[in-house]
Homo-oligomer: A and B are copies of this chain.
């Protein structure tokens, strides 16, 4: 059901500073241009890591869910894993049949396709984002 790992979400108090750090690790050209996702309350920046991406995430304000994460982890840290699925609605239905809850209805994610987050209590403590692949996963 789950496809490739689209990205690893890493929360940071400063995308500007984290971006410099990741540029030193992965090369300047690997670090994309940060952009805001106001409906999710975050600024994000994607870093190419060869076979996948790191998504740096900075809260836009104190109401952002990521702001709570940073209160518990002031230096930042691993926030979520995003796996691609070919059919998001089918995946949500299949997971629901096995007791895995989605955190709200699907919405449009950072890559312009529909995404949903799954309840970490139903996923071994891991916050997982499912993302409809741009090409339908084929």
Measured CB to CB, the residues of A under 8 A from B are 1-5, 8, 10-12, 18, 21, 24-27, 49-52, 73-78, 81, 83, 98, 120-121, 123-127
- Cross-chain pairs A/B with CB under 8 angstroms, 28 sampled: A1-B25, A1-B26, A2-B25, A2-B26, A2-B49, A3-B50, A5-B8, A5-B50, A5-B51, A5-B52, A8-B8, A8-B81, A10-B126, A11-B125, A24-B98, A49-B83, A51-B51, A51-B52, A74-B125, A75-B120, A75-B121, A76-B124, A76-B126, A77-B124, A78-B78, A78-B81, A78-B126, A78-B127
Chain B residues whose CB sits within 8 angstroms of the CB of A74 once the complex forms: 125
Q: Which residues of B contact A75 (CB under 8 A)?
A: 120-121, 124-125
The distance from the CB of A52 to the nearest CB of chain B, in whole angstroms, is: 5
Chain B: minimal CB distance from A112 (Å): 20
Q: Would you call B124 and A4 a contact (CB within 8 A)?
A: no
Residue of B nearest to A30 (CB): B2
For residue A12, which residue of chain B has the nearest CB? Answer: B124
Using CB atoms, name the residue of chain B closest to A17: B124
**Is B124 touching A21 in the complex (CB atoms < 8 A)?**
yes
Across-interface contacts of A73 in B (CB, < 8 A): 125
